[in-house]
Structure 1
């Protein structure tokens, strides 16, 4: 930690400090140290965003499971949506294209789950998977997001790969530091080399990446203050009620806090377990029925809101969330 702080101070002297009032303003920039809500809105004016994200392979077998989650609609009667971060291995790109055509976001993860060893590896891996995605008839400009394999945040080398391949944001920085209602962070950019220390990894503190966003992910908390990076990692989730509760309790922490985007990370292993899938379906139905100011959207749609904050009173006419 001392080394990380030293580097942060050193690069601050080289690049200058990020200042929301002077050199970093929306829609293309937001400081890591900006603890205000976007647009200065009060929490009860902010629509609660639930960002459902699915990792690893996507094929017809898994599609039958994921489809069970997205049967309800958002407050504007548009479909609920989510984001897939794809692993090339075992993925059927005809299925990927079908989800894209329905409005789901398609992002990049890895070729086979292996973590790159160097900068060239990150660049080549992201390019390889993005090429497969665009080869399926998906507009390359719509492929914006990245999540590293095994949630192993790659820092500077990863962001070089993101930049070289025309992506816009990372959604793989899990943090145990900013994981309570009082410390949740809004998405921020790396226009200045500053940011959270992701679990086990440092932020890209030695280089600036203008306009590149971080959709930071707090640890999930469960009973007896158990913490895990993803719901599947909490081994004490043993029933349908447990599966519902871990998702709902962390949702409420966001909802009753500053309304930062609530990012849920699941995969086929979670969905193939009957009670976990059933608890997740119940959670999706419950938050949409019981919380009229809650929207289930893609990661990119959540970043579009951060770039152009719109109060709940006007959100039904917010173009990026329309259908």
Structure 2
């Protein structure tokens, strides 16, 4: 692995829709007129680039500190500004005269020393700073050894990892413990296509509170049942800040799955999860949120079985090693390119069976099921991992959105019936509730009675024991208990001091408010906060303020 000036970011066209590249409001709207589809450097902005699709112009900006390199088609670290000649230049790997922007000062970024380090052993590899060599065995081992930020971890891939996982081996990967296939498109257990249930997973990332509780609840009407006459359910990747734990508890006790999206999901920068976070960070983040859910939403620790990287920013081997070691059953963070066939879940005991465009993909084997997100294709032809990231501005009515959703469903249904994962962003739900509600109603009333809305854990249970449609009425893991009595509680609203400053509103079904806002090293909120030093004080001196029981 010679790391010199190699970029650690995947193809920019994929990054656009994962939120790592930002759209620009000011650009030449006619840039792509007459251009072939592809990526082009912005001739006046080193960090900018155009994406042309069917003569439509889209302008984006690389993450801070990076430059767009038109030759490699990625955002990369550059000491000088090198771009294409702009319009009418080739989008892909054809010779063009590099030129520096006359309008942008060439401010040097962290650059290679004049003489790069000479690694003394053929087994050594050079870090991205150019002056440090480390043993090859330290690459991809979850410890960040390179001094410039740990590029030996977030820059690793299967080619660089000396202990990389191997392609699928059927003779050592047998159900119920393991499933894999060389292309990811094979149906578990060899079930005939016509007998495979089409599973749909409704995934809700982020805070669950009064702003979205009623909308989500109205998606899961009591009359909406799967063909086995059990209620349809979804999975919630709940974040900590701004969540109402009484609502989380209500959804859990109604049969929905509660999963994790780390504790400080929205407090760290997107790049922190991929380029800075350590094994210890991931362990603390996941287990702290798991404990808080147990204490304040009364979700048993053993039933918080899976999670998703914040905003799909993978943490490389550090993330998956922590998930494995803390006993998580599944992960739902890896995306499948929209150009591939739909991919079934697989065990990470073997290498990822499809192209993984995200930064921080795992390279080593882990005893964790991966439930991948098969990217959707928006109305402009681009892949998008969540409904909110799809560019569907031309869909003006609920009927048009409904037909678009049904088209995504049919792509899976008519191919290999790999599960359809719909990641439902809160803002998208606010604007498209009617379309999604009609989508659910349309599928559960299909005359074929072969579509099921299930949780991630229920999906894994089916893969471990593939059961034909005609036998699902007696499939015990999907059986439902008699309808439980409605859940009620005396929820408290509390204003709690936050260790990072200020206060946070906190709501949960608890007999009394915590002393402070629960956080890392303060799972139950028992410690008080020194507002000046912004640190915890172990001795509880002042109870938190209770605003109102409800």
* Rg (Cα) greater in structure: 2
Which of the numbers 441, 456, 459 marks the counterpart of 1:299?
Answer: 456
- TM-score, structure 1 length as denominator? 0.90
Distance in structure 2 (CA, Å) of the matches to 1:6 and 1:199: 15
Compute the displacement of 1:125 (Å): 1.1
Q: What SS does the corresponding residue of 2:286 show, helix, strand or coil?
A: helix
Alignment of 1:102-141 (within 5 A): 102-111=254-263, 112-113=265-266, 114=268, 115=270, 116=273, 117-119=276-278, 120-135=280-295, 136-141=297-302
User: Is the 2:197–2:468 contact (alpha carbons within 8 Å) kept by the matching residues of 1?
Assistant: yes
Aligned residue number for residue 77 of structure 1: 229
1:129-149 superposed Cα distances (whole Å, 9 cap, x missing partner): 111111121111111111111
Aligned residue number for residue 257 of structure 1: 415
Compute the displacement of 1:246 (Å): 3.0
Distance in structure 2 (CA, Å) of the matches to 1:17 and 1:254: 24
Compute the displacement of 1:283 (Å): 0.4
Q: What SS does the corresponding residue of 2:290 show, helix, strand or coil?
A: helix
1:160-194 superposed Cα distances (whole Å, 9 cap, x missing partner): 22123221111111121xx35x6221111112344
Distance in structure 1 (CA, Å) of the matches to 2:469 and 2:460: 16
User: Is the 1:196–1:202 contact (alpha carbons within 8 Å) kept by the matching residues of 2?
Assistant: no
Distance in structure 1 (CA, Å) of the matches to 2:372 and 2:354: 8
Which of the numbers 88, 91, 96 marks the counterpart of 2:243?
Answer: 91
1:266-293 superposed Cα distances (whole Å, 9 cap, x missing partner): 02211222xx111000101011112510
1:143 maps onto 2:300 in alignment: no
User: Is the 1:124–1:161 contact (alpha carbons within 8 Å) kept by the matching residues of 2?
Assistant: no
User: What 5-or-longer segments of structure 2 have no aligned partner?
Assistant: 1-9, 11-155, 481-550
Compute the displacement of 1:235 (Å): 2.7
Distance in structure 2 (CA, Å) of the matches to 1:196 and 1:232: 24
Compute the displacement of 1:121 (Å): 1.8
Q: What SS does the corresponding residue of 1:272 show, helix, strand or coil?
A: helix
User: What 5-or-longer segments of structure 1 have no aligned partner?
Assistant: none
1:24 maps onto 2:24 in alignment: no
Moved more, 253-262 or 154-163: 154-163
Alignment of 1:282-293 (within 5 A): 282-290=438-446, 291-293=448-450
Aligned residue number for residue 271 of structure 1: 429
Number of paired residues?
Answer: 312
Distance in structure 2 (CA, Å) of the matches to 1:322 and 1:16: 37
User: Is the 1:174–1:198 contact (alpha carbons within 8 Å) kept by the matching residues of 2?
Assistant: yes
1:308 maps onto 2:308 in alignment: no
- TM-score, structure 2 length as denominator? 0.54
Compute the displacement of 1:308 (Å): 0.5
Compute the displacement of 1:77 (Å): 1.4
